[in-house]
Amino acid sequence: MISANTEVLNFPILTMLVILPVIGSIVVALLGKSRPEWMKLSALISSVTTAALSLWLLGVFKSGEAGFQFVSQHEWIRQWGISWHLGVDGISLFLVVLTGILFPLVIVGIDPHHDETSYFAWMLLLQAGVMGSFLSLDLFLFFVMFEIVLVPMYFLIAGWGYDQRIYAALKFFLYTMAGSAFMLVGIIATVVLAHRDLGVVTFDLVKIAEGANFSTTAGRWLFLSFAIAFAVKVPLFPFHTWLPDAHTQAPTGGSVILAGVLLKMGTYGFLRFGVYLFPQAAMWARPAIFTLAVIGIIYGAIAATMQRDLKRLVAYSSVAHLGFIVLGTFALSSQAVTGAVMQMVNHGVSTGALFLLVGMIYERRHTREIAELRGIQHVAPIFAGVFTVVMLSSVGLPGLNGFVGEFLILIGSFGPARWWTVVATVGVVLAALYLLWAYQRVFHGEPDEANSSFKEITIREGLLMSVFVAIIVVSGIYPKPILDRIEPSVAALISHVEGQTK
Amino acid sequence: MNDEVATFVGPAIEWFSVSPIVVLLGGALLLLLVGSLTPQWRRGGYGLASAVIALTAIVLLVFLWRDISSSGPKLLVGGALALDHFAVLASIAICSAVVLVSLVTSDYLASENADSPEIYALYLTAAIGGIVMAASNDLVVLFLGLETLSLSLYLLAASNRKRTQSQEAGLKYFILGGFASAFFLYGVALTYGTTGSTRLVDINLALNSYITVPRNDTLLLVGVGLMLIGFGFKVSLVPFQAWTPDVYQGSPTPVTAFMASVGKVAALVALVRVFVTAFPSRADDWGPVVLVLSALTLIVGSVVAIIQVDVKRMLAYSSISHAGFILVGLEVSSHRSSPDVGDGLIAIGVYVALYAALVVGTFSVVTVVAQNTNDGATSLDAFKGLGKRKPLLALAMTVLLLAQAGVPLTSGFVAKFGIIQAAVAIGSYGLAVIAMVCAVIAAFVYLRIMVSMWSSEAMTTEPFKVSFFSAISIAIAVVVTLVIGVLPSLLLDLTSNLPQLASK
């Protein structure tokens, strides 16, 4: 059983992780006009401090424990039974850390080119929202965070994106909001129905999951209402159409965050809310979700192969990768779910890095058309080397991080979802196909005139990428510390599911 | 005949309980009298005076609120008016709207060189009508309030004598409003014919009496239906909404703000009170009708808003879809067997109070923007580049629009959440889903305005001026929106007694 392990810690570290970026954002907005030089500094300070806090959290997190740690609970809206309830366990820990370190990297590494003040202010608000989503243990609080994320992301895409940015931003906002509309009704219905079992009105995730006993039909409807929101966010085929547009049109920083952590809010939501609250319904919905996930894997891979725009290619590869994560999540075996959680982080790192690299290519060449690029390997060998490592991680080469997650997912899914897994394996091969083929076209061959002046990676870019490469290599070679922290929580979740579905 | 006159004893009047109305009435008359006898006041003088009068009424209303908290709701003036939290909350919302709108109007009229006391006196009179409607426990008194409010609004809509659109709006509103009043009155007559009373409480008693009275239920239901049509016009429910966009667009923008807040709050609260107090026994008959009306209103309001190019028309349709949202709360109140039926009234009370501040704030920004265009236009183009020209104003508008869309941490989300929660609690899942999906469709409209403000280049580079009083009014609306959005408990703490309507 998962129990709310109330850690007595004097320092409210989780609350600080959410509040600090908000404070940073306000400071940035206030300083922007009068002291532009301090503005960027304060954005940096607040995001680096958040990163340091999240790394500290990683350090003091007790490995081998299944329950929620560093729980912080304060009454917020008493009349509705809503509290400020944060906690972290093995499932959310690495997503929190990833959120913590990805943002300062983006803030340091990528220039917004114009309107820096608002750009950084929105970035930090976005960080707060994402942090909050991964830490919330209260359904209402989670919804608030899940939904509030849309606003900064909308402005980032609409304000700093490319030609079709307005269209992409609108599509992103409306698709996701439509999904969460159903979830809001679902959340309230969950609380109302749980009220009959619990005797109190509460939005507390743990209390509802452990105490409520939904009827089969009610559970299925409720699960579906959550599933729609998460399926749009992930995005699961056929709800994915907003993603290529949003990814392609977003500024590089926005794409990195979108791929790195925002999409994970969907897969994480499936695990934390969908499966945990409604195990029976999740089991019932499994075949449908497996099918959609596998379609996503194959379709995403094929679509990626067809793309002429490098950024769009990476975007479609996301659809495929997230299909794997969803497959693993719903296989509901210990290995598969552990692999899925690990893969959430891996995908964030490697696809985030890919978007950064594509952004760098665009900065230099002002095009992302694969046909326009050629022979870059000759003029920028280090750049090509970094790209190779990141790409191979995305392909899932043994020894790099992508392999660990994908392997665990496939092994763990083979039992519960044999034929789906067999088809999904084809996706692994296709991933190698589209990425290597793209690499071949962009980096091999003789550079033509436009590409011969392609600038080698700069020191700042090199330092930025070295963080990603380090994570990719280290967690690929020695994933044990990561798996040790994920596994107990996953095991507890699986036994919760098994207990409920016997 | 003389004997009857001699023996007539008027009802006892608790003067303190009706003091807000007295203050507003006295203030309106005084403002009109003094204003017309003295030379033109300094800039903002009339507006400030009107705001102070409305503020005084708010203070008195707060005292009344505390009285009710301690000694319970009661009926006033021989059962003509109800004094309960529901009425007082609506009255506070109405008076707050008067305060904010007066401030904006004084800037608006100053820029048109037409500042005069009449407009403010009409605001105050309309507010009296609104308060009487919100508190009326008698269909005839309700009609009195309705006409006081409506007549003031007709005049206000046509108050800009320089613009033909304003004249047209006034006339259109007048004719359709007259229709609506006639429908309503006919409904009152039929109801009186079947139940023998116009007192809401007595109607309910008559319909519930154990002694079987031969009664024509068809006539009663026709009467209820006609009243619903009358209300439907006033709160612009679909299919009675056709006048709304034209009138909202044609009226001077501060007046639009006034109509969308005061007019709507008063009519909605009165509608809810009539149905919940007088006809709970026929809830099975009007519940489904309200359900259909509210679904239609939500869908048409949010979908048709998408194709508009004028911001005032967009907001007119959005106000229609807001009314649909509030009506979901009335549908909840028709499920009398559920223990959670009271949630509907709480949700409605919270929604109208928050909506009033929200809509006044939004239209105030529109007023300011329109003042800075050459022809007072309110097309989407007028908002282009606002983010660059006046970032703070654009930010305020963004907050207000996000609140209208129901994004969390704004008051709009609190309001919508309350309604959805009430609907789900009594099992109206379908309506809850429709309402939420329509909220998403409506969000598209608000996003379009935001896109115009932030992502487009300005059409002109002329200096952009935000007057002092308008800025204050917008700032108050934004602060309310954010504070209640983050700490809804502040408001929710007060609302637990809302479902206890005065009945004796």
Q: Per residue in B219-243, pLDDT tens? A: 888 999 999 999 999 999 988 888 9
**Domain boundary at A239, A270, A301, which?**
A239
In whole angstroms, what is the distance from residue B426 CA to residue A198 CA? 18
Distance CA B116, CA B119 (A): 7
At B82, which helix (H) or strand (E)?
Answer: strand B81-83
Residue type (1 letter), B122: L
Q: CB-based contact (8 Å) between B407 and chain A?
A: yes
Mutation site, A75, A188, A249, interface B, largest B CB count within 10 A: A188
Rounded Cα distance between A60 and A49, Å, is: 16
Q: CA A301 → CA A246, A317, A425, A435, B170, distances in Å? A: 18, 6, 12, 10, 61
Which residues of chain A lie closer than 8 angstroms to B439, CB-CB? 181
pLDDT at A230: 93
Q: What is the mean pLDDT of chain A?
A: 88
Strands A69-77 vs A82-88: parallel, antiparallel or unpaired: antiparallel
Of B93, B69, B100, which Cα lies nearest the Cα of B411? Answer: B93
Nearest Cα residue to A407 out of A354, A473, A346: A346
Residue whose tokens read 């290619």: A313
Asked if B494 has any chain A CB less than 8 Å from its own CB, the reply is no
Cα gap A170→B48, rounded to integer Å: 41
In this predicted structure, the answer to whether residue A3 has a pLDDT above a threshold of 50 is no
pLDDT at residue B5 in the model: 62
Q: Which residue type does B433 have?
A: V
CA distance B416 to B434: 13
**pTM listed for this prediction:** 0.90
**B300 contacts: CB under 8 Å, gap ≥ 6:** B238, B239, B241, B320
What's the CA gap between A249 and A164, in Å, rounded?
6
B425 to chain A: which residues are within 8 Å by CB? Answer: 188, 192
The residue type at A171: K
Closest CA to B362 of B408, B397, B324: B397
Alpha-carbon gap, residue A306 to A312, rounded angstroms: 10
Whether B473 and B421 have beta carbons less than 8 Å apart is answered as no
SS3 A68: coil
CB distance from A162 to chain B under 8 Å? no
Q: Smallest Cβ distance to B424: which of A77, A169, A188?
A: A188
Residue B330, CA distances (Å) to A107, A149, A251, B289 in order: 49, 32, 46, 11
Looking at residue B334, what DSSP letter applies? T
pLDDT band at B51 (very low <50, low <70, confident <90, very high): very high
Contacting residues for B91 by C-beta, under 8 A, at least 6 apart: B20, B57, B61, B130, B131, B134, B135
* Residue finishing a domain among A222, A239, A256: A239
Residue A222: predicted pLDDT:
92
Range of the domain at A360: 278-497
Domain ranges across chain B: 11-497
Domain co-membership, A432 together with A490? yes
pLDDT at A322: 92
Note the pLDDT of residue B2: 59
**Crossing angle of helices B311-333 and B283-305, rounded to 10°:** 160
CA nearest to A177 within chain B: B440
What is the average per-residue pLDDT within A461-469? Answer: 90
Count CB atoms within 10 A of the CB of residue A381.
13
Q: For A255-314, write each residue's pLDDT tens digit.
A: 999 988 999 999 999 999 989 999 999 999 999 999 999 999 999 999 999 988 888 999
Whether residue A268 is contained in a domain is answered as: no
As given in the structure block, the two tokens for residue A473 are 């290599």
Give which of B417, B429, B238 is closest to B317, Cα–Cα: B238
Residue A419 parent element (H or E): helix A418-443
pLDDT tens readout for residues A41-74: 888 899 999 999 999 988 888 888 888 888 888 8
Q: Determine the Cα–Cα distance for residues B98 and B104; give it in Å rounded to an integer.
A: 10
Reduced to 3 states (helix: H, G, I; strand: E, B; else coil), residue A86 is strand
Contact A176, A266 (CB under 8 A): no
Across the interface, do B454 and A155 touch by the CB < 8 Å criterion? Answer: yes
The distance from CA A9 to its chain's CA centroid, rounded to whole angstroms, is: 28
- The token duo for A169 is 């931003």
pLDDT in tens, B433-469: 999 989 888 888 898 888 888 877 777 777 788 888 8
Q: What are phi and psi of B320, to 5 degrees?
A: -65, -45
Number of structural domains chain A divides into:
2
Percent of chain A surpassing pLDDT 70:
98
Chain A residue with CA closest to B450: the answer is A155
Residues B119-156: tens digit of each pLDDT: 999 999 999 999 999 999 999 999 999 999 999 999 99
* Residues of chain B neighbouring A162 (CB-CB closer than 8 A): none
- Report the percent of chain B where pLDDT is more than 70: 97
Q: Are residues A285 and A232 in the same domain?
A: no
Task: Tell me whether residues A77 and B439 touch, CB distance under 8 A.
Answer: no
**Number of residues written out for chain B:** 504
| Position A325 in a domain | yes
pLDDT at position A6: 46
Name every residue whose Cβ is closer than 8 Å to that of residue A129 and which is 6 or more positions away in sequence: A145, A146, A148, A149, A152
Do A361 and A468 lie in a common domain?
yes
**Which of A192, A210, A239 lies at the terminal end of a domain, its last residue?**
A239
Please answer yes or no on whether A185 and B451 come within 8 Å at the CB atom.
no
Tokens of B391: 């970032």
Contact flag A154-B492 (C-beta cutoff 8 Å): no
One-letter amino acid of A398? P
* ipTM, two decimals: 0.86
Interval B483-498 mean pLDDT: 86
A201: contact with B, CB 8 A cutoff? no
DSSP B420-441: HHHHHHTT-HHHHHHHHHHHHH
Give the pLDDT mean for B17-28.
91
Among B402, B409, B440, beta carbon nearest to A181: B440
Task: Tell if the CB–CB gap between A154 and B447 is shorter than 8 Å.
Answer: yes
Average pLDDT over residues B46-54: 92
Over residues A173-225, the pLDDT tens digits come to 888 888 888 999 999 999 988 888 888 888 988 888 888 888 888 899 999 99
Q: Which residues of A touch B447 (CB under 8 A)?
A: 154, 170, 173-174
Task: Round to whole Å and give the CA distance between A145 and A138.
Answer: 11
Q: Do A231 and A289 sit in the same domain of this protein? A: no
Tell the burial category of B64 from Cβ atoms under 10 Å away from its Cβ (0-12, 13-18, 19+): buried
A150, A159, A173: residue with CB nearest B455: A159
Does residue A445 form part of some domain?
yes
> Inter-chain contact B440–A192, Cβ cutoff 8 Å?
no
Q: Do B425 and A182 touch (CB under 8 A)?
A: no
| Contact between chains at A80 and B420 (C-beta distance less than 8 A) | no
Tokens of B129: 């009508």
Name the pLDDT band for B58 (thresholds 50, 70, 90): very high
Is residue B216 classed as helix, strand or coil in its secondary structure? coil
| pLDDT at position B1 over 80 | no
Contact A245, A164 (CB under 8 A): yes
**Distance of CA A260 to CAs A474, B372, B409, Å?**
18, 43, 25
> A49 CB contacts (<8 Å, ≥6 apart)?
A20
Residue B213 has a pLDDT of 62
Residue among B409, B425, B443 whose CB faces A177 most closely: B443
Exposed / middle / buried, residue A79 (Cβ in 10 Å: 0-12, 13-18, 19+)? middle
Distance from the Cα of B133 to chain A's closest Cα (Å) equals 29
**Section A357-361 average pLDDT:** 89
B212: pLDDT confidence band, cut at 50, 70 and 90? Answer: low
**Under an 8 A CB cutoff, do B444 and A174 touch?**
yes
* Chain A CA closest to residue B413: A144
Instruction: Check CB contact of A108 with chain B, cutoff 8 Å.
Output: no
Both tokens of residue B333?
Answer: 């109140």
At residue B282 the predicted structure's pLDDT band, cuts being 50, 70 and 90, is confident
Local structure of residue A263 (DSSP, 8 states): T
Q: For chain B, say whether A166 makes contact (Cβ under 8 Å).
A: yes
pLDDT number for residue B7: 74
Query: Checking DSSP bridges between strand B81-83 and strand A82-88, what pairing results, if any?
Result: unpaired
Angstrom CA distances, B43 to B117, B467, B468, stand at 12, 11, 11
Q: Are A271 and A341 in contact (CB under 8 A)?
A: yes
pLDDT attached to residue A343: 92
* Tokens 């690929």, residue located: A476
Residue A184 and residue A286 share a domain: no
Peptide bond into A12 cis (omega under 30): no
Size of interface A-B (CB pairs under 8 A): 77
